[in-house]
Amino acid sequence: MLQTAKQCGDSHEFPNNYLKRKEVRIMKRVFKIVFCFLAITILSVGFLASPALASDAKPIVNIYEIEPNNTINQANVLSNNYYGEHRYYIYGTITNYYYDLDHYRFTVNSSGKVTLGGGWLGDYFGRGLEDQLIIGLMDSQGNIIHAAILVGSYPDTIRYLSADIPAGTYYIVVCQGTKYKYIFVNEPYGIVLDFTPSISYATVNFNSQGGSSVSSISVAQNSTITAPTVPTRSGYAFGGWYTEAECINPWNFRTDVVTGNMTLYAKWVPSTNANVKRIAGGDRYETAVKVSQDGWTTADTVILARGDDYADALAGVPLAYQLGAPILLTHTNSTIPATTAEITRLKAQRVILLGGPGAISDNVKRELERLGLTVERIEGRDRYETASCIADRMKKGAVFDTVFIAVGTNFADALAASSYAAMKGQPILLSETNYLPQATKNAIVDLGINNTVVCGGPAVVSESVFNQLPHPKRVYGNDRYLTALEMAKEFMPESTKHVYISTGLNFPDAIAGGVLAAKNHSGLLLVQGNHAVPIQQVQDFYIDREFTGATIFGGTTVVSSGLEKWFKGNPL
């Protein structure tokens, strides 16, 4: 494919891969390139003075040609992420009599205007030969977008071309031509590349304040940024990024936007060598057993919940705490050897099943009875009525006039509240998002409830439901992780120095772990288990509260080793 570029009244063919020149007289260059530094200085002054370039005083980045670069695959790479934050000055030479096309590659991540200019450096020293320099802008498919012929010597005949381009990868292609059929090797040229994005970009620098270095990033103004790699510092735990060196105002990577060039500063707190441990088994059933073994030497009563569905188990933590019982998990139709072995180890006399035969079958009940256990079943026609029956069972051993209300179609908010409801001796009742089930309405009346704590925002428990409740108080965040955090801020005792960590993406570990957390006067923080660090707000809470330890529920497939290292004050 050929593109024609017209400049100064002449027409020239510009090829995609090489430039054919016919009837060329070859003259060997008799002078070496001298005074290169002086030439570069003069060229720079000429570029800056040109009205074709942006008038702002951008930083200059000098690029010197690396041979070979006469194909796309050999192109010198200027930048894989060019935002126009600086201006490139490119210096090279033509080294082949016929076909030397020098290639320079750059990538822009937004649309904008690119400006190219250039000229020969050699003729400035009085050689008087009317060489021509051809410069073109080519896209990644090999199509010439724009080309110009730059005739003669610097400074009188420098030419510029500009083009509006979309985001993508581009090539500057340079070759040599002459009206009088002279071609000279080792002729030095200079090119300027400037780019003005249609979107304004800002640079965010990260000052690690004594920690490992963190690379700067460029981002479109008025947008959020992704948190960078967490720095490390011997003897310290990373405490997040702040907008000033004194670390007063934390930067929220989820909501704060970059409005211009800025620097964020790392906060460090002395490492406490926190006592962080992980309780995990081979699966959810074994993890529940491990939790029981960690917290109970013996127990007269055990609560048994279905392990593959949370519906009936959501409200079970306060009852388990009241009875001093761990929660273990089972299959629907058969017991699990590890679970029955743990019941035996605990010397339990009674097992309470949560849910009807559809959740835990009568076959499981009979197997437990054959072990000499007294088996009690708490059930309703659905999860809402089962929660009401659990609350009624709690009324036999406690006095309360407050209940927690959580949505029954998801597990996160109910489990986040479970430890605090348990410590307060208050049951959890369930609601639909947009209406209050009759079973829950009846329980509120029958139990004499005067106050309610609503778990979660209006998206999970609507305002219409909220307004039907007696003296409601809503505790919530923008998502399940922040709701769990707000629960901790509201209800976790100030004296608590050990916190419990569970994934927010599944329920089994939190059901078993919530009772252990309540038993130790603590609560649950939920994390995104596949992440390397907690969200910023959880980081801040953990550091500000000066916890000295944490227990993680579940293996590394549910809560990553990176999270474990972070809580130990030894981030990745």
Strands 402-407 and 374-378: unpaired
Is the backbone peptide bond immediately before 68 cis, with ω within 30 degrees of 0? yes
Q: In 3D, which of 544, 538, 553, 539 has the Cα closest to residue 501?
A: 553
Is the separation of the CB atoms in 241 and 264 below 8 Å?
yes
| DSSP calls for 109-165 | SS-EEEEEEEEESGGGGTT---EEEEEEEEETTS-EEEEEEEESBTTTT-EEEEEEE
**Tokens (6 digits) for 399:** 């006095």
pLDDT digits (tens, 9 = 90+) for 376-405: 999 999 999 999 999 999 998 789 999 999
Q: What angle do CA 377, 381, 382 make, to 5 degrees?
A: 100
| Mean pLDDT, residues 167-174 taken together | 92
Which residues, listed in sequence order, are joined to residue 549 by a DSSP beta bridge?
Answer: 275, 498
d(C-alpha 173, C-alpha 262), whole Å: 36
Determine what percent of the chain is predicted with pLDDT higher than 70: 82
Whether 253 shows a pLDDT value over 70: the answer reads yes
- H/E segment holding residue 188: strand 187-197
**Which of 103-107, 139-143, 365-369, 497-501 shows the lowest mean pLDDT across its residues?**
139-143
d(C-alpha 553, C-alpha 237), whole Å: 22
Q: What is the CATH number of domain 201-270?
A: 2.60.40.4270
CATH 2.60.120.380 fits 58-197, yes or no: yes
Measured over all CA atoms, what is the biggest interatomic distance in the chain, rounded to whole angstroms?
Answer: 110
**Tokens (6 digits) for 498:** 């050990």
The phi and psi torsions of 549 (rounded to 5 degrees) equal -170, 165
pLDDT digits (tens, 9 = 90+) for 258-271: 998 999 999 987 66
119 or 337, higher pLDDT: 337
d(C-alpha 6, C-alpha 146), whole Å: 10
pLDDT at 94: 78
Whether 35 shows a pLDDT value over 50: the answer reads no
pLDDT at 146: 81
pLDDT at 159: 62
pLDDT at 492: 96
User: CATH 2.60.120.380 region(s) of the chain?
Assistant: 58-197
User: CATH 2.60.40.4270 region(s) of the chain?
Assistant: 201-270
pLDDT at 180: 46
pLDDT at 336: 95
Helix (H, G, I), strand (E, B) or coil at 79: strand
| DSSP tag of 339 | H
| DSSP tag of 451 | E
d(C-alpha 4, C-alpha 344), whole Å: 89
Q: How many Cα atoms within 13 Å fall on the side-chain side of residue 321?
A: 30
**Which of 148-162, 194-208, 455-469 shows the lowest mean pLDDT across its residues?**
148-162
**100: confidence class by pLDDT, cuts 50, 70, 90:** confident
**142: confidence class by pLDDT, cuts 50, 70, 90:** confident
| Mean pLDDT, residues 359-381 taken together | 97
pLDDT digits (tens, 9 = 90+) for 39-77: 444 445 454 445 455 555 688 899 999 988 888 899 999
Whether 186 shows a pLDDT value over 80: the answer reads no
pLDDT at 26: 33
pLDDT at 97: 56
Query: What letter represents residue 7's amino acid?
Result: Q
pLDDT digits (tens, 9 = 90+) for 12-27: 333 333 333 333 333 3
| DSSP calls for 521-537 | T--EEEE-TTSSS--HH
Q: In 3D, which of 328, 244, 321, 333 has the Cα closest to residue 285?
A: 328
Whether 10 shows a pLDDT value over 60: the answer reads no
Q: In 3D, which of 499, 503, 541 has the Cα closest to residue 521?
A: 499
Average pLDDT, the chain: 84
Query: What letter represents residue 483's amino acid?
Result: T
**Which of 40-44, 79-83, 125-129, 277-281 shows the lowest mean pLDDT across its residues?**
125-129
Is the separation of the CB atoms in 15 and 134 below 8 Å?
no
pLDDT digits (tens, 9 = 90+) for 306-325: 999 988 888 999 999 999 99
pLDDT at 277: 92
**Tokens (6 digits) for 249:** 């105002």
pLDDT at 75: 94
| Mean pLDDT, residues 141-148 taken together | 84
The phi and psi torsions of 94 (rounded to 5 degrees) equal -85, 125
98 or 234, higher pLDDT: 234
| Mean pLDDT, residues 158-172 taken together | 85
pLDDT at 151: 52
pLDDT digits (tens, 9 = 90+) for 281-311: 999 999 999 999 999 999 999 999 999 998 8
pLDDT digits (tens, 9 = 90+) for 546-557: 888 899 999 999
pLDDT at 28: 36
**Tokens (6 digits) for 353:** 């099943």
pLDDT at 56: 57
Residues 6 or more apart whose Cβ sits within 8 Å of residue 385: 437, 439
**Which of 150-154, 291-295, 388-392, 561-565 shows the lowest mean pLDDT across its residues?**
150-154
